[in-house]
Structure 1
Amino acid sequence: MIALRNNAQSVLAMAVDARQTQLNLSLGDGEKFPNLSLGDHCRCCLKDAAGNLEFVKVTQRAGDVLTVLRGQEGTPSRAWNAGTRIQLRMTAKTWDEMAGEHWQRLVDASGAVAAPQTTGTSAFALSGDWSGVFEPTRSFRLYQTGGTFQYGYVKSAAFSGGKTTVTADDGLIPSNAVAVDVGLPLNVHPKSINSTPVAHMVAPDAHASLFAGRELSVHRGGAAPADRSRFWLNTNDGTLNYHNGSAWVAVVGRYADA
């Protein structure tokens, strides 16, 4: 996720060539930059007095040392002298990422990441009462050791015995999850899950627990839905059909946020 902090700037304590991926900041300046963990990142700019610049993506910070991806956003990777200024910047790529960021990482009252505990193939638990966060059909993703995500949708959530147990609709809960992000409800955030289309994108009856019976009836060629009902159905030929509450409106193209 994107990490930001005001007035994050320093100078290089050591020169670097065009290939080095660790930047040493002036002593003590690392604390000015965000703490990065569990896939967080920020974007910075190196710039000298001659106006040369290079954008880098910071993926890790250990004290005063930044681990970076060099030559980002069309800028060349180059050698930099000690004393070169480095600043955290709101780059064009940062704005693009923020525009598409639907996720919020769950943290407790102290600011610590809420760690999920797998309780089965289709459920995980969090310490405390999070039942109001995990409404049915809300999207979530579990961050795994190794930097990958596993996506899913909430089937149900219940608070008992000091913890909240969340049951997923698709039963894809990994055993090595270390953090959980919550997103948007299924009806506003249909998504490709784990590199393949989720079942509800192809056949709503595959996710029967998330769809009203009348919608499934329509999908199978049954009667029209109740008045004022609104929903999308994705047909096999890639056409979307939207019921606006009184009639079907055909929309060309697939509705997916991949």
Structure 2
Amino acid sequence: MLKRSVDINAIGRGLSPVVALDRDFFEHIAKLRAARRIWARTMKEKWGATDPKAMCLRAHGVVVGTVCTRQQPLVNIARGGIAGLAGILGGCMGLQVACYDETWSTPTEEAERVAIRTQQVLRYESGVTSVADPLAGSYYVEWLTSKLEEEIQAMVDKIEGMGGWMAALQNGWVHEEVKKGLLDIQRKIDNGERTVVGVNRFQIPTEEDFKPKLYALRILQMSINIWMTIGILRKRGITKTSRRKSRTYKRQLPIPVKISFHMYSRHWKPTLLLQR
């Protein structure tokens, strides 16, 4: 973007990276705080940004699905709340909490509602959003933030030494690092070094465990709808048609689908999108 003469301040104000939030409460608070430090320093010293807003990291925190467990899935509600709180205390500007039944199936409307309500409780009832960086000055948080900042900066320098992110991705280094991290976490869970409630400690019999609602019938109906619609599209020969005619045809479809279009050569082709 800089090569296209886009101002670095405009770039900094417009970017909003996504940051994963997991189980370790203080680690993810410190990770976000360290990322904010590195972002501000890099934008100012390396890229020459002058607008304070461009030096402010607008991170969007996402409580990843790996937080959830298949065993005792209702406990995932607590996990999502704790991880979401860590994101807010770390300074994320947006938040998305995983649904408690994600390890079972496509989240149900009930699970989606609980995830949204968790975010709303954190936003409107907890009071944590009333203060910016409320853990500033904490000995442990400041020490951990500085430690992670050094480690993150060292990894950034290593990636740049490889020729950048794309080069590190293409030579397999990124995949190996992710693989090593995941295997290390799983090893600690397997040997009991890392406790996961309901998985390696505090288990209950399978027959007593909560079973979320599954969307098997809904998924089956959605699949039937897709193939019925594809058959209708082929039969009526609208694979190459104008947007006006296709919009007219959309109103004639007997099943709940949406049709969007993207340019391919000189023709518009229908893309099926399921309505939830």
When normalised by structure 1's length, the TM-score is 0.21
Q: Which has the higher contact order (CA 8 A, sep 6+)?
A: 2
Higher share of residues assigned strand: 1
